[in-house]
Amino acid sequence: MKLEKVTSEKGRRYHDACGAAHGLDLVGDRWALLVMRELMLGPRRFGDLRRDLCGVSANVLTQRLEGLEASGLVHKRKLAPPASVQVYEATEWGLEIEPVFMVLGRWAARSPGHDPTLPLSAVSLMLSFKTMFDPGLAGGGRMTLGFALGEDRMVVRVADGRLEAWRGEAEDTDVVVTATPPLVAAAVYGKVPLRALVGLALEGDAAVFERFVGFFHLPPKAEVTS
Amino acid sequence: MKLEKVTSEKGRRYHDACGAAHGLDLVGDRWALLVMRELMLGPRRFGDLRRDLCGVSANVLTQRLEGLEASGLVHKRKLAPPASVQVYEATEWGLEIEPVFMVLGRWAARSPGHDPTLPLSAVSLMLSFKTMFDPGLAGGGRMTLGFALGEDRMVVRVADGRLEAWRGEAEDTDVVVTATPPLVAAAVYGKVPLRALVGLALEGDAAVFERFVGFFHLPPKAEVTS
DNA sequence: CGGCATCCGGGAAGATACTG
DNA sequence: CAGTATCTTCCCGGATGCCG
């Protein structure tokens, strides 16, 4: 006898025609935006989401996925056999939220309270590349890098002053980086010398990764004098 | 005997190096982002914030302002005599959050659940202009409009394919619009004929406002077929 | 009256255990 | 592995009251 709470989904929404307010109605609940983040590079399984969203509990994750699906941002799908596993996938419209991560991330990176040494998911690392990539620094540089981050395999391509990232096995890559996401972040954003990063391994042309590191720069910290 | 809750400010934050996650640490609490929205066009008083943030309770607003001030996004200031009233003002870095409203608002406007007839604050209306303005439609158009929205006085200038908005009395304006924000939104975004909008009054060159309305277009609604 | 603290009820989030 | 059930904690919202 389920108590049929029926999830009224009313009452805690802003009653505001402002687009940003409605955006918060859609992804303003705790964890909701970060769930979308993890889906930006392709479908994920429930357990993978739970692992990468460090700290989220199973019931909350279930609620968020239900809510996001009800809003048309996420689609529950079952992969074809023999995989036959259930995955959650962002809808076409859901994927269009990506610029929010860029703008919000770039702004928040100026916060004095931002600690870049905290844990980081593989998807977050890829999105940070797309956010902090500076075409002016890259010039006409052209390269393909593979990243082996725990179980995750990512490919990053820089070409024509643009950076693209997707989930996939490394093929035709100039260099393959094996490490944890925070270690890669330390190298790219902290400009920590590679020899100082135990646990980060390069296979292939190490000089390509050295150049890659130079394509990024963090925005200056904001003044907190007030 | 204060119980010294000391606002540990710990525990409910995401423990994530991702910039977007830290952005949520800063403005992810309920109402926080909308408080920043209301400060985008200049300092506001506590009571004004409470009136425009329809539904926020006084204690929550106090908590948010305290938190935003502790984060360096908001500054509490007392206006010079004879005003001598206390106002809350976004810091320089706090103002830089504005692009978040543009991107989030443009994305959320595609939601099938977005209801543009809901209440709207004067600041929200101005930000929506900056968000939905299409330079291609404006061409070389050049105009200055005044808006009298209840107690609020706003000025909007279109020039050189750019739109600017600020709080101020109408001077040297081509036309002055007196109405409520939702009525103006109905005219601009709903393309409702002016004669159908009782309560909206134009003073000056009405044709200028007619042209102004043509400078905006809402993005198409997203497919919810999935 | 504006700004802010206190108290309380309801509900969302967090943690853990349990089930198919 | 993918959730569900249950309990606890704490945030949110509303009301009240203090104080300059």
Listed in sequence order, the residues at least 6 apart from B37 whose beta carbon sits closer than 8 Å to its beta carbon are A18, A20, A21, B101, B121, B123, B124, B127
Residue range A103-119, pLDDT digits in tens: 999 999 999 999 999 99
User: Which positions in strand C are less than 7 Å from the protein's CB atoms?
Assistant: 1-7, 11-17
> Over chain B, what is the mean pLDDT?
92
Give the pLDDT of residue A82.
81
pLDDT confidence tier of residue A226, bands split at 50, 70 and 90: low
Residue A199 pLDDT more than 60? Answer: yes
Residue B47 pLDDT more than 80? Answer: yes
Give the pLDDT of residue A126.
98
> Over chain A, what is the mean pLDDT?
93
Task: Tell me if A119 and B16 make a contact (CB, 8 A cut-off).
Answer: yes
Residue B152 tokens, joined: 């609020």
Report how far residue A180's alpha carbon sits from residue A182's, in angstroms, rounded to the nearest whole number. Answer: 6
Task: Tell me if A111 and B55 make a contact (CB, 8 A cut-off).
Answer: no
pTM given for the model: 0.94
Residue nearest to nucleotide D5 (CA to C1'): A59
Give the pLDDT of residue A80.
81
Better-scored residue on pLDDT, A226 or A140? A140
Residue range A177-186, pLDDT digits in tens: 999 999 999 9
Determine the average pLDDT of the residues in A42-55: 94
What secondary structure does DSSP assign to B132-176, as a single string?
A: HB-HHHHTT--EEEEEEETTEEEEEEEETTEEEEEE----S-SEE
Residue range A202-225, pLDDT digits in tens: 999 999 999 999 999 999 999 876
Task: Tell me if A16 and B120 make a contact (CB, 8 A cut-off).
Answer: yes
Set of chain A residues whose Cβ sits within 8 Å of the Cβ of B119 = 15-17
Give the least confident one: A7-21, A22-36, A38-52, A195-209.
A7-21
Set of chain A residues whose Cβ sits within 8 Å of the Cβ of B112 = 72
Tell which residue, B24, B22, B17, B25, has the closest CA to residue A183: B17
pLDDT confidence tier of residue B82, bands split at 50, 70 and 90: confident
